[in-house]
Amino acid sequence: LKFLENYLKLSRELGSLQDEGGALGSLGVTYAGMGDSERAISYSKKYLRIARKLGDVRGQAFALGNLARSYADLGDDANAIETYQQQLAIARELDDPYNKGHSLLNLSMLFGKQHRYDLAVPLAEDAVRSYERIKHGCYYRAIHHLLELCQKEGVSTR
């Protein structure tokens, strides 16, 4: 945290919005990992504003994913879903399988938690395909999630 706070301070002193955004994004992820979702949301929103100002669309996708994660951690599923859907739209526009896979998988998990399997299963299937495309390690996490969904009552195995 001390390193990131110093990085943020220095980037502001130098007037580097790109570095400031990077520092804010990293602070958001760090606080999310520490369980401080409120602070994570604050930093992620600031990162998102800077990414939008710079026209950094990929940075916007990362910021939205981090923001959605923190909403989900707080149990604010409605905001998490809306924010993951924004991330997914950007990922599709950029043909970015990494952010696409993450938003699809996380949306599927949220809908699965709500027992909305009609939405969760196709999202999980798409996540598997996205991760498979780039040989990402989350491929196995997505497969596991899809199998869990298929074992739920009312969901046929494929």
d(CA 137, CA 122): 20
The pLDDT score that the predictor gives to residue 42 is 98
Cα-based angle 106, 119, 33 (whole degrees, multiple of 5): 10
Q: Mean pLDDT for the chain?
A: 94
Q: What percent of the chain has pLDDT over 90?
A: 91
Average pLDDT over residues 37-47: 98
pLDDT at 45: 98
Q: What's the pLDDT at 156?
A: 57
Alpha helices, H only, 55-137: 57-73, 77-94, 97-113, 117-134
Does position 153 have pLDDT exceeding 70, yes or no? Answer: no
pLDDT digits 0-9 by tens, 75-131 = 999 999 999 999 999 999 999 999 999 999 999 999 999 999 999 999 999 999 999
Q: Tell the burial category of 39 from Cβ atoms under 10 Å away from its Cβ (0-12, 13-18, 19+).
A: middle
φ and ψ at residue 144, rounded to 5 degrees: -60, -45
Query: Is the whole-model pTM more than 0.85?
Result: yes
pLDDT at 142 over 90: yes
Residue 122, number of CB atoms within 10 A of its CB: 13
Whether 8 has a pLDDT exceeding 60, the answer reads: yes
